[in-house]
Structure 1
Amino acid sequence: MKLTDEQLDMVGIAGRVTSVLSILGSFVIIGAFCLSRYFRSPIHRIIFFNAFYNLIDSAGTMISVSGPAAGDTSSLCQFQGFALQMFPLADVLWTLAMSLDTYLVVFHHFDAHSLQKLEIKYLGVISALTGIPAIVFLFIRTPARGPIYGGETIWCSISPRWMLVRIVLYYVPVWIVISIVVIIYFLIGIEISRLRDEFKLTEDDHIALTSQSTSIRPFDNNDSSVTTIVESDMNHKPALVPEAHIISQSSLERTSTLRQPARHFTPADHSPPTQRRMSFKQYILMPSLFFLALLATWVTPTINRVSLFISPNNHSYPLLLAVSALGSLRGFWNGIIFITMGMKGWKRRAIERKNFKKQVDEKGYSINH
């Protein structure tokens, strides 16, 4: 069953509206990264790089049904096919890069500087893996099947006449990468749970991270609390922390206090509130958002592709409408995640500064900020 002209118009409107949302999301990412220091963590940097890929992706989805209408051999259709082959795959690979950053922090103690040195490698590998096939496909065509890029109702991508190529070189890699991302976060979750059990932390407790260059002195002997302080060697990589996007570039300390009463500080013990903390609930947020965004983006197109592979002439209007709308939202989802992570970090640090100032005022200390 083919779609009517009215149905095609609705598919085109849905795709263009969500493409606009994605474009706005990408500009929000770029603007926030450039204007605010609260959006400069390693994970934010990766989303920032990906925003430029998302912009070209959104340009492709914005063309929508105009691509197939222009004809398979038209420049518009070929550009759209190239854009929708390269940049959606790049988006998934950038998500993999984010999970790798978190893995390297948790299991190999990478700091922010070490993670930033990987960014040029991420750029090169992701651009090569997605760009080379997408460019090569522009030059492949046969008399029997025509060009690889061609119209498929809602936009131009790998033509239905090259269906097997589309599945093997597009959907299979996407779901392999998504599976790897899920496995990585699962392993990280196990390690985080082990840390929580090791230090007897509740869900509301935090693993602390500090950028102080001086060590913290022990508390007074009158303090009956049970405290564990693990300090890193300044000449080595920092101590273990559970999330890449809050890491600092100098010494790290992991502190866990169990059922402790009020602490007794001396002025020398206090220092500015440079510690950054992350609760286990906050840790769950980041991978959950990425996972939900991936599912929202890729489940519907995959179902549609499998359906068309089984029944090539059976076009479901509701399914194609969903594919057009959800498949154009990659930049929008990334913008939501980017802002959510940044605002949580900003609020957390604001609360820490407020609490620190309150403690200082109560003790009557004089501290230069």
Structure 2
Amino acid sequence: MFADSQLELLALLERVFSSISLVSVLLIFVTYGSIPRLRNPRNTFIVFASIANFGASIGTVISRDGLARGEDSALCRAQSFLVHVFMQSDAWWSLGMSVNTFRIVFFHSNPHTFNKWLYSLICFGGPFISGFTLFFISTPARGPVYGATTTWCWIRESWVSIRLFTSYIFVWICIATSIILNTMVGFRLFRARNEARGILNSRIQNTTVDHQTVTETSTDACIQGSEHTFVTAVAVTHKLAPDATNVEPIPPNQTQQSLGSATGSTKSKFWLKDPIKRAYLFTTFMFTLSVLVTWVPASITRIHSLLNRNVPYSYQVAIVAVMPLQGLWNALIFFTTSRGVLRDVMRDKWGLWGLKSANIDSDLVEMEAVPRVRVNEHSEATDSGSDVELRYRAR
């Protein structure tokens, strides 16, 4: 179908991108194992998914060597099994992480109670059962299921229906379900945030009205007694009794400071949004996106091959350039969501004072801007992920 030079380029791309993915996965394993603070439930699921990436990368790094050995060779059959089981297992793990996020947001589940071994049994066991069963399926007319494809050993073209029903359909069910769950979670969190902002704005407006009344009283007192060096102001609180009015002399700028303090106090009550839920939503969204990017070229190629037997060479290049990179996408997600912990570790262990100064400065800026509750990305190690966005409303 393609020239030898084109096939050699495909093999080169497979090996290069598979090697990048293998290195990325190994970095995840080493980092996760050497830094205890990273061992939270979210990262644990990424590590388990990376095991699938490792197996898939081993299968794709073999490239066309399995084809060169022959379709009936042990290398070709082993490559077929690795590609079939571990390539789609990543999509199963994406669905598992989406289910976790859904449980946290809608059912207030504790992430530390998730049974990772049950998830492993499902996400690895499902593809393993189909992959192992295919070893024993063969007919005189079509031969065994595992054999040659254009890029590597997998399921033969003569068994295209098996490839669809044991791989593509399961993958797209996982992707579609993950998108639905992530959309529901995102809508829930954004709606809660908007409700909290509405309550916050209402409280700030009430505080502003009270302050305007106080300012008018202070101005009248200042005009009548202009010889004094201070301004008479009325200190008003939200829970002031009808017959209790405390009048005391305060500096002119004291009223503005009181308003800022009251507004900041009001903001601080509503500023606490659950970082665990947002971290899980971001992780699952990126994970689903990476699986989607991985499987779109292969799915388009498969649809094109069903409609037209001649598949363009550019489609094959897209497959070998995207599918082996699952480990790289997982590494980007892992290190992006864990950057706060990694930054603290580098600062503490290697004395990167520049990072320390930057952190202190940013903390001071945020403290001066508005009092708030700060929770780092790694707070999940101690927090259970309870619903805290609108906790003030229940009081």
Q: TM-score, normalised by structure 1?
A: 0.72
Aligned to 1:101: 100
Question: Structure 1 residues 29-38 or 10-19, which shifts more?
Answer: 29-38
Whole-Å Cα distance in 2 between the matches of residues 29 and 197 of structure 1?
36
Structure 1: 5+ residue stretches without partners: 203-221, 227-257, 265-274, 360-369
Displacement of 1:53 in angstroms is: 2.0
- Aligned amino acid, residue 293 of structure 1: S
The reply on whether 1:332 has 2:328 as its aligned counterpart is yes
Write the mapping of 1:107-126 to structure 2, written as runs, cut at 5 A: 107-115=106-114, 118-126=115-123
* Distance (Å, rounded) in 1 between the aligned partners of 2:173 and 2:15: 29
| Structure 1 position 90 matched with structure 2 position 89 | yes
Could you tell me how far 1:336 is from its partner in structure 2? 0.7
| Compared CA separation, residues 85 and 358, structure 1 to 2 (3 A) | closer
Aligned to 1:7: 6
Secondary structure, counterpart of 1:199 in structure 2:
helix
3-state DSSP of counterpart to 1:150: strand
Checking the alignment, whether the CA contact within 8 Å between 1:150 and 1:156 is kept in structure 2 is yes
User: Does the CA contact (< 8 Å) of 2:101 and 2:281 recur in 1?
Assistant: no
Aligned CA distance change for structure 1 residues 352 and 62 (closer, same or farther; 3 Å)? same
Structure 2 Cα separation of the partners of residues 293 and 81 of structure 1: 22
**SS class of match (2:324):** coil
Deviations 1:245-265 (A, max 9, x none): xxxxxxxxxxxxx9954559x
- Match for 2:335: what amino acid? I
SS state at 1:157 partner = strand
1:27-106 equivalence runs, <5 A? 27-106=26-105
Superposition deviation, residue 39 in structure 1: 2.2
Contact 2:46 2:330 in 1 (8 A): yes
What amino acid does structure 2 have at the position aligned with 1:337? I
Q: 1:160 aligns with which of 157, 161, 168?
A: 157
Q: Which amino acid aligns with 1:321?
A: V
Change over 3 Å in CA distance of 1:148–1:196 after alignment to 2: same
The answer on whether the counterparts of 2:80 and 2:155 sit within 8 Å (CA) in structure 1 is yes
Taking structure 2 as the reference length, what is the TM-score of the superposition? 0.68
User: 1:269-306, CA deviations, whole angstroms, 9 ceiling, x for partnerless residues?
Assistant: xxxxxx99639986764344223312220000111111
3-state DSSP class of the match of 2:275? strand
Q: Distance in 2 between matches of 1:223 and 1:191?
A: 37
Q: Distance in 1 between matches of 2:300 and 2:103?
A: 34
Match of 1:144 in 2: 141
Cα distance, 1:42 vs. partner? 1.2
1:15 partner amino acid: E
Q: Which residue identity does 1:19 align to in structure 2?
A: S
Contact 2:89 2:124 in 1 (8 A): yes
**Consecutive unaligned residues in structure 2, runs of 5 or more:** 200-234, 240-259, 267-271, 346-355, 368-395
Query: Structure 1 residues 279 and 198 mapped into 2: Cα distance closer, same or farther (>3 Å)?
Result: farther
Trace 1:241-320 onto structure 2 (pairs within 5 A): 261-262=263-264, 278=275, 285-312=282-309, 314-320=310-316
Q: Relative to 1, partners in 2 of residues 1:74 and 1:53: Cα closer, same or farther, differing over 3 Å?
A: same
Provide, for residues 299-354 of structure 1, a one-character-per-residue CA deviation record: whole Å limited to 9, x for no partner.
00111111122223x13211101101211011111111111111156669985997
Which structure has the greater CA radius of gyration? 2
Compare the two structures and name the one with the higher helix fraction. Answer: 2
Q: What are the superposed Cα offsets for residues 91-136 of structure 1, whole Å, 9 maximum, x if unpaired? A: 1111111111111110111113212xx2111011122211011011
The Cα of 1:71 is off from its aligned counterpart by: 1.6
Question: In the alignment, what sits opposite 1:205?
Answer: none
Distance in structure 2 (CA, Å) of the matches to 1:50 and 1:32:
15
The answer to whether the Cα contact below 8 Å between 2:301 and 2:315 also exists between their aligned partners in 1 is yes
Distance across 1 between alignment mates of 2:43 and 2:16: 26
**SS of the residue 1:3 aligns to:** coil
CA RMSD of aligned residues (A): 3.3
Assess if the C-alpha contact under 8 Å between 1:99 and 1:181 holds in 2: yes
Kept in 1, the 8 Å contact 2:24–2:327? The answer is yes
User: What is the alpha-carbon distance in structure 2 between the residues aligned to residue 126 and residue 42 of structure 1?
Assistant: 16
Q: Number of matched residues? A: 296
- Alpha carbons 2:101, 2:277 under 8 Å: kept: no
Change (3 A) 1:347 1:108: farther
Q: Distance in 2 between matches of 1:73 and 1:225?
A: 82
Match in the other structure for 2:168 = 171
Is the 1:72–1:147 Cα contact (8 Å) retained in structure 2? no
Q: Work out the CA distance in 2 between the residues paired with 1:154 and 1:346.
A: 38
Secondary structure in 1 matching 2:94: helix
Give distance in 1, aligned partners of 2:196 and 2:273: 18
Pick the aligned partner of 2:363 from 333, 355, 364: 355
